Structure 1
């Protein structure tokens, strides 16, 4: 069983900081790396894979630095988000080349096993240029698995997959996690991570925002302050009724608009219509102001 460790790790390009002082540990089982697009997930995965050196800090695999450590590739497998294939090769040729580069004793047999594992054996003789996005994802997976690595890193692996392909990959990764392999995959979709990961690391704007199982992360997101603008036929009466409840953290009147900050989402969802009814106030419009994914993650960073 293998463990990856990131200690006070940063990576910058000129004045742009892609990863900022991140510390985390990725052990056996399935870990989800969650964050919005542009959060630095790909940069972090490339450092974990030894393709990029940290500008500061360290990335180690079982205690040894990954950067400039070719032996690490006997243990690591990487499925990048970017298309790193050659369209003029067949899927079988591409996976075979990966097996040969790893110096395997029987590269042909290893390539066939890997293609069978990802259900691509029937398409092995077709050129990659003819593949769908989902098929390209699976052939990249086969190339990463050809040497049977103990650690698998996947960058947005479900992009472009149809429901059947997604279910197959979920089953495959679950089996790998249960077998004791170390699997890290990135995603910007919480529900995608919930289906698969036993542990979640959240990255936002290059910073490590949260860590824990998905129930803890879901609770942090659900319990964050929620902001609404409300239009009614008597904003003052509604504001007075709302401010007395524990679910309301703040109320302000801005002309004809009532702004409310609620700390308990589910309680407030029940509270607002009940308070309006009891106060004889007619609600015209209730609009959430901060429901974008980026705002949710930004809240976690500020904690």
Structure 2
């Protein structure tokens, strides 16, 4: 099934959460990547039909998701933050969801979903005894109980240990191989790299980039990089860097006693910098990336 998002915006009063976003999500695994506060959760809620777009339209195979209860037979949603009925056992929680979907054999469906997420051993414990990772997996079971064709996951790996993460990744890959549409959000680049072949990047409510992960990753790698350098002779180091063609800009900051440089080829820069310092008998004290946060990386994509 194909999700189509066409010129969608969502605002709350004067706060714009999603701003004129257009994208298409095809069957397979798509990563919705962006820093915290980028609008990923709001977008997922509109795709799931839980929130109305302020403008634009979200459709699933051509059918609008807002005020269309029939889509819930096809969509499973795993929200990042959602209060659970902690007094229930995991099994009863999933069984309740199976009954709400009107499944012909809710008990068997609940049991199959619990086994699918590897929670059978803890299914008869109450939810208030679960770790965050276990809660995530039981929410996953509830989302899978009706065998949906579309699965939406909001930061699904939060709180999971390495074994749980690997199990969930394997499950999502199997769903993709079955021809289902899987869309998961994350602010962690490595999670998306391991799982998604296609990514959509969001920054500050806007759609920043779209395409094959490797192509987007190259954009991130090839962006200008900024470093803060400290040495025993910052001015001599600055002159050597400029003469060698390693940097596109350089600034000697007398207040923090550091050299601020920008390079467009960080691979060559990190190899050549110590060599250049040695050749010029300059002692390096500190080399610190100044723009390695995800926000700065995604911000570069928006500006670029």
TM-score range (shorter-chain normalised) is: over 0.9
Partner SS for 2:45: helix
- What is aligned with 1:185? 184
- What is aligned with 2:121? 122
Partner SS for 2:272: helix
Shift of 1:280: 2.5
How far does the alpha carbon of each residue in 1:95-139 deviate from its partner, in whole angstroms, 9 at most, with x for none?
A: 111111111111111111111111122322221111111111111
Partner SS for 1:126: coil
- What is aligned with 2:172? 173
Shift of 1:207: 1.0
Give the 5 Å matches for 1:78-157.
78-157=77-156
Partner SS for 2:195: coil
Distance in 1, matches of 2:86 and 2:116, equals 22
Distance in 2, matches of 1:60 and 1:17, equals 21
How far does the alpha carbon of each residue in 1:14-56 deviate from its partner, in whole angstroms, 9 at most, with x for none?
A: 1111111111111110001111111111111111100001111
Partner SS for 1:147: coil
Q: Name the TM-score, length of structure 1 as normaliser.
A: 0.96
- What is aligned with 2:271? 270
Distance in 1, matches of 2:253 and 2:72, equals 59
Distance in 2, matches of 1:50 and 1:247, equals 51
Give the 5 Å matches for 1:1-303.
2-255=1-254, 256-303=257-304
- Is 129-138 or 170-179 further displaced after alignment? 129-138
Structure 2 segments unaligned to the other structure (5+ residues): none
- Is 50-59 or 243-252 further displaced after alignment? 243-252
Partner SS for 2:223: coil
How far does the alpha carbon of each residue in 1:48-76 deviate from its partner, in whole angstroms, 9 at most, with x for none?
A: 10000111111110011100011111111
- Is 5-14 or 272-281 further displaced after alignment? 272-281
Distance in 1, matches of 2:54 and 2:112, equals 38
Structure 1 segments unaligned to the other structure (5+ residues): none
Distance in 1, matches of 2:125 and 2:233, equals 67
Partner SS for 2:156: coil
The runs of 4+ residues in structure 1 deviating greater than 4 Å are none
Q: Name the TM-score, length of structure 2 as normaliser.
A: 0.96
Partner SS for 2:147: coil
Shift of 1:246: 4.3
Q: For this pair of structures, how many residues does the alignment match?
A: 302
- Is 77-86 or 58-67 further displaced after alignment? 77-86
Distance in 2, matches of 1:209 and 1:244, equals 35
Distance in 2, matches of 1:247 and 1:107, equals 65
How far does the alpha carbon of each residue in 1:173-195 deviate from its partner, in whole angstroms, 9 at most, with x for none?
A: 01001111000011111001111
Partner SS for 1:87: coil
How far does the alpha carbon of each residue in 1:223-274 deviate from its partner, in whole angstroms, 9 at most, with x for none?
A: 1111112222332322222123444111122324322101111011012112
Partner SS for 2:248: strand
Distance in 1, matches of 2:234 and 2:133, equals 51
Distance in 2, matches of 1:295 and 1:157, equals 24
